[in-house]
Amino acid sequence: MSEKTEVKEKTKVQELSLAKECVIKKLDLLTDSTIVDVDDDDEVKVHILDKQQSSKYKLKLFSLYKSLKTKTMRIMKRKKQK
């Protein structure tokens, strides 16, 4: 395996790991069902989600987390095979 390919794979794994951590943090924040957002005009907006909205958002984030985890595992498996 070339050094360039190895660096690319390592970088991709790091990117996916960071993305997974972000998703986990977002899921943790949703336990209170309040989202604080800052828009492009530096205006702070607070969204209080009801139980149904919170559940839908958590489901989407969990699905994203699973997808990121699967991609990371594929890269790691390919790396081991080489």
Whole-structure pTM value = 0.51
Where are the domains positioned within the chain? 3-81
pLDDT higher than threshold 70 for residue 31? no
Q: Which residue has the higher pLDDT, 13 or 50?
A: 13
Q: pLDDT (tens digit, 9 = 90+) per residue, 33-79?
A: 556 667 777 777 666 666 677 677 777 777 888 888 888 888 888 87
User: Can you give the three-state secondary structure of 34-80, one letter per residue?
Assistant: EEEEECCCCCEEEEECCHHHHHHHHHHHHHHHHHHHHHHHHHHHHHH
- pLDDT per residue as tens digits for the range 62-75: 788 888 888 888 88
Is residue 35 within 8 A of residue 25, CB to CB? The reply is no
